[in-house]
Structure 1
């Protein structure tokens, strides 16, 4: 019998599950993936995408007329695979399996075949769709690019009376913040609970934290932060985050950088080049990451992060009410741009999705959930 720890006690409004609430894990999943491998996007202008990627801190490993692969400094496959498309779109995540047998079991459960990936990626994959329609790949045996030199860390910090830097200044260079690795992706679904249970059962992910709408805990969670179950080996607080909403869509993706100085200087580098910050700099509550969110040229949100939590499988899910003000321990308030509330083509699209979801009975987004959603956005 597994004994679960509680690391959430006393952390703002966090608590643990009440009797009968969602356990946050499946007792016998089909496979247990070990990490995100990469994210796939479609983009109409790969030259513009590559220019932003360089300023954001990626290193290209493939750039053709039809395909762009972007990597971090850590060893492994590319973090992002971009294919030329008529419009900008998130195509889906690829998760890394430990063995080819895991890919085969996942394929059998999904009723699909195991297929070789292109030579540019290597390995094999099984591909299906989650309940929200996102294409999900499980892959293994992919090409492992060797590590690149890491961006220097700023370790000579004077803290209180502990002096380690005397007669020397501290000057972080104004340059791109080198991406080290892919951290997580956040997806919205109008079938949130169905999608959550699918990822727990099919991929063996486990929940680190649940959020619920204030006054609606009796109806269950509306957001969950899921990590890979690596047993005693710690993994990121979340590899995938799922949230209830009126439409099935990409919310943002996050990429690790070296430290706060690198993140902040990299943000100034982006700002000077005319890119738009969506929200930041701050430190999250769930996951504890220091964050900085930006809009890419196609309007998608991407995040620099550093200093995130790592949990092993002994940590049970935390529970907390959702609020805009509860998204960060410190930093500026969550912006209207990040929350999607200002009048814009994106927010008008979300409004149309709300109307459509309320008219359709075949989803989890009803009138009461809408009231909770609006309460969070205005908190």
Structure 2
């Protein structure tokens, strides 16, 4: 009996699934399976200015030294961000958490990288690697967990005719949205497919959604939203997102807050203090989360999010065209700042494109045309 359209998409969350021979979004035999993202690392020339923004954004300091600052959310666990002093502001790497130190040892044995004791402030063991794009990737286990802090409580909402809030008002204050945890990081790579496969093979991540440039599906995906494989335990729709582009770089990172009121009132707090909103408020398609994007004083993009999708490992990847209009279900039109087409960043983007076209990587003229079409569509 022939399979129907509904049968083909039985375990999908999107309108389209993979065609025959397209990328499966999984490794057949990964070295390990990481449990979650742990933290991000940056260098900043001015840690005092960086901490002022971080507190307005909703972080709290877990550790402060003259040349190092650890920022945390309210959830128990590791810090979300580690900032170190440096001559210029730059992203220096990402750490993922393994469930057990045995996984760290297994990964070290497979790659030939040494196992190192982490600094006493963090504890545990780690192995430091580099993905094919050159991004520093650390896998850690056995770290000292930070204790849980008082969290910002979500509001009780009257939805439709379900009235649960009686004789009580809603008065959310314009205060920093209290960050709960680090949700995901987005990276750009001019060695996209090689880098994608590296994360699937080494860390056991699996793809939730693929995007392809308009008219270029036959050339394969150009972006992937990638989650941890925790088996039947649901996990974030994406812990890592990877996009094909002219440069190997950090794009943004996302931090969970309690609810829409926390996100919106926290945004008002940031706006009143002169910080730049890059794009928002809206709701994404891939991942479904409510979002609000901001620039820190050094120009790095960070996101508040809430109400994101949670998937177990039974869902297969969805496939969709990569378009600017397809980045959100609702909200203001995507901004030039978010897309990197604003005049203040256009010069840098053009230079990176020209450099990539002259190099040995996956970003060729056809991919450039696809990226430009996606930005306009």
State the TM-score, normalized to the length of structure 1: 0.96
How many residues were matched structurally?
A: 370
| Alpha-carbon distance in structure 1 between the residues aligned to 2:335 and 2:204 | 34
Offset of 1:197 from its aligned partner? 0.3
CA offsets, 1:166-193, max 9 Å, x none? 4432111110000000000000000000
Matches within 5 A, 1:238-257: 238-257=238-257
Q: Which residue of 2 aligns with 1:136?
A: 137
Q: Which residue of 2 aligns with 1:377?
A: 375
Q: Which residue of 2 aligns with 1:289?
A: 289
| Alpha-carbon distance in structure 1 between the residues aligned to 2:315 and 2:27 | 15
| Alpha-carbon distance in structure 2 between the residues aligned to 1:118 and 1:204 | 26
Q: Which residue of 2 aligns with 1:274?
A: 274
Matches within 5 A, 1:47-66: 47-66=48-67
| Alpha-carbon distance in structure 2 between the residues aligned to 1:323 and 1:33 | 31
Q: Which residue of 1 aligns with 2:153?
A: 152
Offset of 1:161 from its aligned partner? 2.8
2:171 maps to 1:171: yes
| Alpha-carbon distance in structure 1 between the residues aligned to 2:215 and 2:203 | 31
Offset of 1:263 from its aligned partner? 0.4
Offset of 1:79 from its aligned partner? 0.5
- What is the SS of the residue equivalent to 1:8? coil
| Alpha-carbon distance in structure 1 between the residues aligned to 2:86 and 2:276 | 23
Say which is worse superposed, 185-194 or 95-104, in terms of deviation. 95-104
| Alpha-carbon distance in structure 2 between the residues aligned to 1:211 and 1:4 | 17
| Alpha-carbon distance in structure 1 between the residues aligned to 2:374 and 2:110 | 37
Q: Which residue of 1 aligns with 2:363?
A: 365
Where in structure 1 are there 5+ consecutive unaligned residues? Answer: none
CA contact (8 A) 1:6 1:16 kept: no
- What is the SS of the residue equivalent to 2:268? helix
CA contact (8 A) 1:229 1:312 kept: yes
**Could you say what the CA RMSD is over the residues aligned between the two structures, in angstroms?**
1.2
Q: Which residue of 1 aligns with 2:352?
A: 353
Offset of 1:376 from its aligned partner? 1.1
Where in structure 2 are there 5+ consecutive unaligned residues? Answer: 1-7
Offset of 1:286 from its aligned partner? 0.3
Offset of 1:4 from its aligned partner? 9.4
Q: Which residue of 2 aligns with 1:96?
A: 97
Matches within 5 A, 1:1-379: 6-9=11-14, 14-155=15-156, 157-344=157-344, 346-360=345-359, 362-379=360-377
- What is the SS of the residue equivalent to 1:106? helix
CA contact (8 A) 2:9 2:16 kept: no
| Alpha-carbon distance in structure 1 between the residues aligned to 2:149 and 2:9 | 38
State the TM-score, normalized to the length of structure 2: 0.96
| Alpha-carbon distance in structure 1 between the residues aligned to 2:9 and 2:127 | 32
CA offsets, 1:125-155, max 9 Å, x none? 0001000000000000111011001112101
| Alpha-carbon distance in structure 2 between the residues aligned to 1:29 and 1:161 | 48
CA contact (8 A) 1:231 1:312 kept: yes
CA offsets, 1:3-51, max 9 Å, x none? 9962324xxxx31000000000001001100000101011110000111
| Alpha-carbon distance in structure 1 between the residues aligned to 2:144 and 2:42 | 19
CA contact (8 A) 1:284 1:290 kept: yes
